Amino acid sequence: MSIHDAGSAAGTQAARSPEYRVAHLQDRLASGELGELGVRVEVRGGTVRVTGTVPSARCREEVLSTVREELTGLEVHCDIVISEPSSPDHAEEL
């Protein structure tokens, strides 16, 4: 086989690495509508951890859907909190 073929196989292997897939996910999250969100994605050992805060349940579902698409086959732990601002249901006593 030629050196080019070996490099091609190495490139395919790199494309399958968790770090490469996480970097692609981060690019996708940053470039889309969800780019302003504080979502972090890290590889820790053999798993991927997704953490952060999003403004609504809809945003959380969009992030989780994107994570599922990009990281299929990897063990992923998601800890995404919803910080939906709402008005208080009672008056504050001072």
Summarised one tens digit per residue, pLDDT across range 20-78 is: 999 999 988 888 776 656 889 999 888 999 999 888 888 899 999 999 999 999 999 99
3-state secondary structure of 56: coil
pLDDT of residue 14: 52
CA distance 80 to 62: 11
Its sign, for the CA torsion 50, 56, 62, 68, is positive
Q: Which two tokens stand for residue 73?
A: 């086959």
Q: Say if CB 15 and CB 44 are below 8 A apart.
A: no
Which has more confidence, 70 or 84? 70
- Per-residue pLDDT at 18 exceeds 70: yes
- Per-residue pLDDT at 9 exceeds 70: no
